[in-house]
Chain A
Amino acid sequence: VLGQIARLEPRGAWELDAAITRGADRLKRRGVLLVVSDFYDATDATFRELRRVARRGHDVALLQVLSAPEIDFPYEASVEFEDLESGERRVIDASATAREYRARVGSFLTRCRSEAHRDGHDYALMRTDSAPERALRAYLIRRAGAADPTAPRGSP
């Protein structure tokens, strides 16, 4: 699975809800649906679709992947940011806006984690500055621990 993921080339846009539906439809028996995304495009419909998949008996796990700068926002002074998908550009004073940005992103991550836990999904935040196999291993260990009724479930 990791090898296939590594060979993927990011391009274009996608519809998260449709991708979840398409992935779930491929599961003929009860299985595990791993959704690897930054979830920037996630909407209420996305979580609704994930709940529908879970009700069909599948285990759903959300692996939210973000780069370290997206989370830590280490920029200073004037920076012109260019949106990777839309190409939109915006010049801001990174020093002045860093705190507000981190608060907004933190709120976004908290919402994603809360939604996942509320619906009984596994959730893990994976930073790109960590090796993916290590992050995945940590997730699987947590998932195995979650099988133990005494262990907490779905903690990142």
Chain B
Amino acid sequence: MFQNPWAWLGLAAIAAPVLVHLLARRPARRIPFPTLRYLPATRLAPIRRGRLTDAGLLVVRCGVIAAAVAALAQPDWRRPPSAPVPATDLARAILVDASWSMSREAVTGGAALDAARREAVDLRAGATRARLIEARALVGALGGAAAWLAQQPMRRELVLVSDFQEGTIEREDLRAVPDDIGIRLVPIDGRAPRAPEPPDASSAPAIQLLAGAATQAGARAARRAAEARGAPARGRPDRSVAIVFPDFERRGELLGAARPLDEPWMFDIVGAVTHGDQAHTYLEGLTWSAGDAGRHELRLFSAVPAGTLGSAALIAAAARAASPDPDPAELAAATIADATLRAWERPASDVIPVAARDPDRSDGRWMWGLALALLALEAWLRRARPTPAPAAEMPHERAA
């Protein structure tokens, strides 16, 4: 019945106003008196309260704390912990596969990714709450989607829209999704993938290497080593990428002309390089400048000399990131069978755990209201409390 029952430990705070009430020192009233000779000089006042006074005020103060603690416990008195939720409420996380294979033509025409997006929009419209996520790797996005769904106080469903190539996702990946979250797999049928186009002889190399005269041979050796490790040899004509080695004569000039990245493809390449293997550790800096005819060029400033193993790793990482060629796995034609996909699916549970209840909809807000009302009462009581006065007025003079 309480979403945060540990908050009840806060009831111990009720001891605070009681202790303050007992220990607080209050100012002594000053009373003119004819003579002090019969007042016991040795009984200096213990001016702490020895007993409870203003019990009503104390009770109200304790009530304020109790109400606040009850509010923090987030009571939920309207529904029992595992009561069914309305069948009409549905939270849906829609993962759209945005990998290279989804650029293939769909059976229905147009790119498979566009068809997936249209499907996702329809799915979103059918949910009470929805979150649409495009991901190049569905498996990597599963955790975030499941975490979002776990917070939704209604039936939850995870939808994957993909061409479901072999290896896109495995049954084990889906087992990591909590059992009370439904799983729906929506395949987008695409035509057979096209084979990559042969290298365009006129296209620029994947990476331009800017090295000093003394290390030109080393730079070429590093490129060959990178290609031997599977780095593509060609790049995209509209994306110029250069690696500037430390001994390049104009390195200082290029650094001086450095400007921030601003093209999306630059961020893609930089992201791929810096999140790849160890290549990013060989980088000294990132910059770009306008090339010929207004063409933008991404320049990666290497911290290691051309011809070293590090330079080869950097060239390989950058070339892979800049290449238009897909990952060979994206070219696979085989897809996961529909029967398998159906077997992996499961409906959304009609029962949600307490932890998924919406804290904004708990009855705690009523307790906050009660705490505020008690605070107002406490302030009124404090002001209405009569100022302590002597039990009898003392004449301000002695008889004689």
Q: Do A and B come from one complex?
A: yes
- A contacts, CB < 8 Å to B: 10, 14, 16, 36-38, 40, 64-70, 72, 74-86, 88-94, 96-97, 100-101, 104-105, 108, 128
Q: What is the total number of residues of chain B having a CB less than 8 Å from a CB of chain A?
A: 33
**The one of B26, B29, B45 that contacts A93, using a Cβ cutoff of 8 Å:** B45
In the complex, A76 Cα to B47 Cα: how many Å? 11
Pair A84/B391 contact, Cβ less than 8 Å = no
Q: Determine, out of B31-39, B129-137, B327-335, the stretch whose residues face the partner at the interface.
A: B31-39
Q: B293 at the A/B interface (Cβ < 8 Å)?
A: no
- B contacts, CB < 8 Å to A: 26-41, 43-47, 388, 390-400
- Contacts known (A80-B29, A81-B39, A92-B40); A65 close to B399, Cβ less than 8 A: yes
Measured between C-beta atoms, what is the minimum distance from A16 to chain B in Å? 8
Measured between C-beta atoms, what is the minimum distance from A80 to chain B in Å? 4
A-B pairs, 4 with minimum CB distance: A65-B399, A74-B391, A37-B400, A78-B28
In the complex, A97 Cα to B47 Cα: how many Å? 13
In the complex, A37 Cα to B393 Cα: how many Å? 20
List, in ascending order, chain B residues with CB within 8 A of A40's CB: 34-35, 37, 398
List, in ascending order, chain B residues with CB within 8 A of A104's CB: 38, 40
With a 10 A CB-CB cut-off, give which of B28, B43, B390, B400 has the most chain A CB atoms: B400
List, in ascending order, chain A residues with CB within 8 A of B36's CB: 81, 83, 86, 88, 90
- Contacts known (A10-B397, A74-B391); A100 close to B43, Cβ less than 8 A: yes
List, in ascending order, chain A residues with CB within 8 A of B395's CB: 67, 128
Pair A84/B34 contact, Cβ less than 8 Å = yes
Measured between C-beta atoms, what is the minimum distance from B47 to chain A in Å? 4
In the complex, A142 Cα to B34 Cα: how many Å? 28
List, in ascending order, chain B residues with CB within 8 A of A85's CB: 34-35, 398
A-B pair count, CB < 8 Å, reads 126
Measured between C-beta atoms, what is the minimum distance from B51 to chain A in Å? 9
Pair B38/A101 contact, Cβ less than 8 Å = yes
Pair A92/B43 contact, Cβ less than 8 Å = yes
**Known pairs A79-B390, A82-B32 / 12 extra A-B pairs, C-beta < 8 Å:** A16-B400, A37-B399, A66-B399, A77-B28, A78-B45, A80-B31, A81-B31, A81-B36, A84-B32, A89-B30, A92-B45, A97-B39
List, in ascending order, chain A residues with CB within 8 A of B400's CB: 10, 14, 16, 36-38, 65
With a 10 A CB-CB cut-off, give which of A36, A64, A78 has the most chain B CB atoms: A78
**The one of A67, A88, A96 that contacts B34, using a Cβ cutoff of 8 Å:** A67
Pair A82/B399 contact, Cβ less than 8 Å = no
Measured between C-beta atoms, what is the minimum distance from B395 to chain A in Å? 5
List, in ascending order, chain B residues with CB within 8 A of A83's CB: 33-36
List, in ascending order, chain A residues with CB within 8 A of B31's CB: 75, 79-82
Pair B30/A108 contact, Cβ less than 8 Å = no
With a 10 A CB-CB cut-off, give which of B36, B40, B44, B398 has the most chain A CB atoms: B398
List, in ascending order, chain A residues with CB within 8 A of B44's CB: 90-92
In the complex, A90 Cα to B47 Cα: how many Å? 12
List, in ascending order, chain B residues with CB within 8 A of A92's CB: 39-40, 43-45
In the complex, A83 Cα to B34 Cα: how many Å? 6
- Contacts known (A14-B400, A38-B400); A68 close to B38, Cβ less than 8 A: no
Chain B's closest residue to A86 (CB) is B36
List, in ascending order, chain A residues with CB within 8 A of B388's CB: 77
In the complex, A40 Cα to B44 Cα: how many Å? 23
List, in ascending order, chain B residues with CB within 8 A of A70's CB: 33-34, 394
- Contacts known (A100-B40, A101-B38, A104-B38); A84 close to B398, Cβ less than 8 A: yes
Pair A97/B43 contact, Cβ less than 8 Å = yes
Measured between C-beta atoms, what is the minimum distance from A103 to chain B in Å? 9
Q: List 27 A-B contacts (CB under 8 A).
A: A10-B398, A10-B400, A38-B34, A38-B400, A40-B37, A65-B400, A68-B392, A69-B391, A70-B33, A74-B391, A76-B391, A77-B26, A78-B45, A79-B31, A79-B390, A80-B30, A82-B31, A83-B34, A88-B36, A90-B36, A92-B39, A92-B45, A94-B45, A96-B46, A97-B40, A128-B395, A128-B399
List, in ascending order, chain A residues with CB within 8 A of B26's CB: 77-78
In the complex, A68 Cα to B46 Cα: how many Å? 26
Chain A's closest residue to B35 (CB) is A40
List, in ascending order, chain A residues with CB within 8 A of B27's CB: 78
Pair A84/B397 contact, Cβ less than 8 Å = yes
In the complex, A69 Cα to B36 Cα: how many Å? 13
